[in-house]
């Protein structure tokens, strides 16, 4: 029997706005958590469930991502008394958050479970260091690694720098322009009591910090922290009575790859990143374009990654990213602020999930800055973005998260305020 036309699920638009993020939670962002990733994960997941106003029995799915540096989902579920109808632990770091949100939508849509919590728990400073130092750097070099690690080409910064350097060559991008990303994110972090680095820095500070691997200075690189983050996803029509306004998911894309995902540098232009391909999925499915977006969350493992993605997703012309990130656009008070929490450069490193959490709070208009809380329990945002002040964006209806694994792989998501 043919399906009625309105149930045609063959178009991705069928799911536009039908799923929502209804809870977000995290631990503190520290160096030296003094806890296992199991304890961190339990802490963040509990916070996200409580934020959603749900009972633990409302949760029946768990998704997580990791690189052998975390605790598996069923253990966290067991600790909290969640009985699972679905779980999956996925290998990977950056770009996982948005892609796993898409997977969560898929498994709920398939009727496999009703409500999914996604978490990322890591001791990125005190155990498996995200910068790749410590035990990771001394690991034996085997098989395919002979083509990279044997050349001292191992850390994320070392691997991505070939893309960054070529962008400067192709387009005349300057170190000063790229440093403006750190300047903007540090200003945002100064208004975020949770942020690990809350001091504002200048372009001169970035350029005077020591070179790690050209073109990266120390301050072009993100912070290594210990933390966990979690978000709760369910069908929007089941989420009308939550504690917060629903954050509706308009579209997800991920993990979208450039050709030759085994070694993406074989296929140029190498200054192009995966967003070039992901944008053709993201924008049509979202039914909006970059010009409609109020706040971006462009992954900042490095200053350059923010710039490259904003370019290839179409927020500016290819090659004009240096101008875009340094002309005030991405700062609070600018036309389209990026990573208002301070992001990975300043708030803490969670492989992208904290940037989704921040945008959920922006859309709810409940960003946790130091603005006074009124008698109704709601924060009275001042929109005064001076140091130590507000970081709520005044008009925030649509956000875009641009997740990054490497120059050849990325994920993205558009969310809107209900």
Partner 1 sequence: MAIKADYLGMPLSLDDLDVENVAYFRHCAAHEFHLQQCSACSLLRYPPTTACPWCMSPDARWVPVEGRGTVHSYSEVHHAIQPAFKAHTPYLILLVDLDTQKGTPSEHEALRVVGNLAAPDGKLAPPEAVLAVGIGTRVRMVFTDVAPGLALPQWTLDERAAQPEKPWRYPQE
- Residues designated as active site: 299, 349
56, 88, 207, 281: which one binds partner 1 (CB under 8 A)? 207
Q: How far is the CB of 219 from partner 1 (least distance, A)?
A: 13
> What three-state secondary structure class fits 345?
helix
**Pair 337, 393: CB distance under 8 Å:** yes
Residues within window 58-97 making contact with partner 1, judged by CB under 8 A: none
> What is the maximum alpha-carbon separation in the chain?
69
13, 30, 265, 319: which one binds partner 1 (CB under 8 A)? 265
**Pair 406, 159: CB distance under 8 Å:** yes
8, 112, 133, 243: which one binds partner 1 (CB under 8 A)? 133
d(CA 36, CA 113): 28
Q: How far is the CB of 303 from partner 1 (least distance, A)?
A: 14
108, 270, 288, 295: which one binds partner 1 (CB under 8 A)? 270
- With CA atoms as reference, report the closest residue to 229 among 75, 126, 120, 68: 120
Binding string, 134-163, against partner 1, x = CB under 8 A? ---xx-xxxxx-xxxxxxxxxx--x--xxx
195 binds partner 1 (CB under 8 A): no
Q: How far is the CB of 169 from partner 1 (least distance, A)?
A: 5
* Residue with smaller CB distance to partner 1, 243 or 267: 267
Q: How many other C-beta atoms lie within 10 A of the C-beta of residue 92?
A: 17
Q: How many residues bind partner 1 (CB under 8 A)?
A: 47
Is the alpha carbon torsion for 394, 20, 376, 339 positive or negative? Answer: negative
The string over 222-237, giving b where at least 16 C-beta atoms fall within 10 Å of a residue's C-beta and e elsewhere, is: bbbbbbbbbbbbbbbe
Q: How far is the CB of 325 from partner 1 (least distance, A)?
A: 17
266 binds partner 1 (CB under 8 A): yes
> What three-state secondary structure class fits 295?
strand
210 binds partner 1 (CB under 8 A): yes
Structure tokens at 391: 């970081």
Kindly indicate which of the ranges 38-46, 95-103, 264-272, 309-317 contains the residues binding partner 1, using the contact rule CB under 8 A: 264-272
Tallying the residues shown for the chain, one arrives at 418
- With CA atoms as reference, report the closest residue to 357 among 263, 228, 260: 228
**Pair 120, 70: CB distance under 8 Å:** yes
94, 124, 131, 352: which one binds partner 1 (CB under 8 A)? 131
- With CA atoms as reference, report the closest residue to 222 among 100, 322, 125, 356: 125
Q: How far is the CB of 268 from partner 1 (least distance, A)?
A: 4
Q: How far is the CB of 338 from partner 1 (least distance, A)?
A: 24
The contacts of residue 163 (CB under 8 Å, 6+ apart) are 270, 271, 273, 304, 308, 407
9, 112, 211, 373: which one binds partner 1 (CB under 8 A)? 211
Kindly indicate which of the ranges 57-65, 210-218, 378-386, 391-399 contains the residues binding partner 1, using the contact rule CB under 8 A: 210-218
Q: How far is the CB of 316 from partner 1 (least distance, A)?
A: 21
Structure tokens at 265: 């540098």
106, 193, 268, 328: which one binds partner 1 (CB under 8 A)? 268
Bridge partners of 24, per DSSP, are: 231
* Residue with smaller CB distance to partner 1, 9 or 146: 146
Question: Which positions lie near partner 1, rule CB under 8 A?
Answer: 131-133, 137-138, 140-144, 146-155, 158, 161-163, 165-166, 168-169, 174-175, 207, 210-215, 259-260, 262-263, 265-270
């Amino acid at each position: 029997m043919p399906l009625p036309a309105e149930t045609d699920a063959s178009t991705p638009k069928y799911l536009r706005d039908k799923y929502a993020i209804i809870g977000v939670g995290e631990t503190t962002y520290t160096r030296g958590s003094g806890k296992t990733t199991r304890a961190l994960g339990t802490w963040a997941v509990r916070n996200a469930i409580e934020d959603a106003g749900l009972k633990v029995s409302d949760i029946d799915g768990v998704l997580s991502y990791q690189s052998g540096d975390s605790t598996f989902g069923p253990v966290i579920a067991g600790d909290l008394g969640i009985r699972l109808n679905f779980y999956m632990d996925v290998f990977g770091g950056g770009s996982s958050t948005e892609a796993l949100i898409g997977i969560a939508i898929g498994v709920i849509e398939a009727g496999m479970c009703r409500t999914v919590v996604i978490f990322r728990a890591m001791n990125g400073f005190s155990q498996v260091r995200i910068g790749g130092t410590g035990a990771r750097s001394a690991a034996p070099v085997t098989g395919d690694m002979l083509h990279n690690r044997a050349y001292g080409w191992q850390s994320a910064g070392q691997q991505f720098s070939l893309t960054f350097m070529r962008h400067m060559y192709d387009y005349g991008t300057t170190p000063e322009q790229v440093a403006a990303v750190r300047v903007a994110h540090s200003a945002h972090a100064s208004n975020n009591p949770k942020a690990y680095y809350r001091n504002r820095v200048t372009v001169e500070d970035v350029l005077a910090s020591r070179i790690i691997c050209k073109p990266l200075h120390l301050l072009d690189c993100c912070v290594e922290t210990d933390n966990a983050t979690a978000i709760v996803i369910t069908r929007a029509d089941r989420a009308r009575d939550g504690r917060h306004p629903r954050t509706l998911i308009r579209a997800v894309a991920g993990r979208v790859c450039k050709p030759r995902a085994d070694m993406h540098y074989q296929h140029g232009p190498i200054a192009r990143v995966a967003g070039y391909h992901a944008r053709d999925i993201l924008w049509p499915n979202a039914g909006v374009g970059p010009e409609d977006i109020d706040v971006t969350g462009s992954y900042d493992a490095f200053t350059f990654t923010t710039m490259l993605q904003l370019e290839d997703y179409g927020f500016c012309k290819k090659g004009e990213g240096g101008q875009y990130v340094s002309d005030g656009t991405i700062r609070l008070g600018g036309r389209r602020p990026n990573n208002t929490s301070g992001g990975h450069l300043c708030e803490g490193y969670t492989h992208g999930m904290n940037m989704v959490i921040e945008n959920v709070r922006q859309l709810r208009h409940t960003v946790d800055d130091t603005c006074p809380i009124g008698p109704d329990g709601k924060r009275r945002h001042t929109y005064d973005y001076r140091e130590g002040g507000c970081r709520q964006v005044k008009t925030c209806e649509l956000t875009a998260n641009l997740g990054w694994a490497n120059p050849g792989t990325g994920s993205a998501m558009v969310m809107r305020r209900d």
